[in-house]
Structure 1
Amino acid sequence: MVTRESAINIARLFINDCKLSGLSFHKVFLFGSAAKNTAHEWSDIDLLLISDQFTDNVFENLKLYAKINIKYPSIETHPYPTKYYFEGDDFIKEISKESIEILPT
Structure 2
Amino acid sequence: MSALHKDRLPIQKVYLFGSYARGNPHRWSDIDLCVVSPRFTDPWKATQYLWSKRTTDRGRTIEPVGFSPKDFQHESPLTREIKKTGIEVA
Aligned to 2:3: 17
Aligned to 2:83: 96
Alignment RMSD:
2.0
Aligned to 2:65: 78
**Unaligned stretches of 5+ in structure 2?**
none
The two structures have a TM-score, normalised by structure 2, of: 0.77
Q: Give the distance between the partners of 1:41 and 1:18, measured in 2 at CA.
A: 27
* Residues 55 and 81 in structure 1, CA contact (< 8 A), matched pair in contact too: yes
1:64 aligned residue (49, 63, 71)? 49
Q: Give the distance between the partners of 1:84 and 1:67, measured in 2 at CA.
A: 21
Aligned to 2:16: 30
**Measured at CA, do residues 81 and 67 of structure 1 come closer, stay the same or move farther in structure 2, by a change above 3 Å?**
same
Matched letter for residue 40 of structure 1: H
How many residues of Structure 1 are paired with residues of Structure 2 in the alignment?
Answer: 86
The two structures have a TM-score, normalised by structure 1, of: 0.68
Residue 32 of structure 2: SS of its match in structure 1? strand
**Structure 1 or 2: more helix by fraction:** 1
**Measured at CA, do residues 44 and 82 of structure 1 come closer, stay the same or move farther in structure 2, by a change above 3 Å?**
same
Matched letter for residue 52 of structure 1: P
Q: Percent identity?
A: 31
CA deviation profile, 1:22-57 (whole Å, cap 9, x unmatched): 212111100010111211111000011111111125
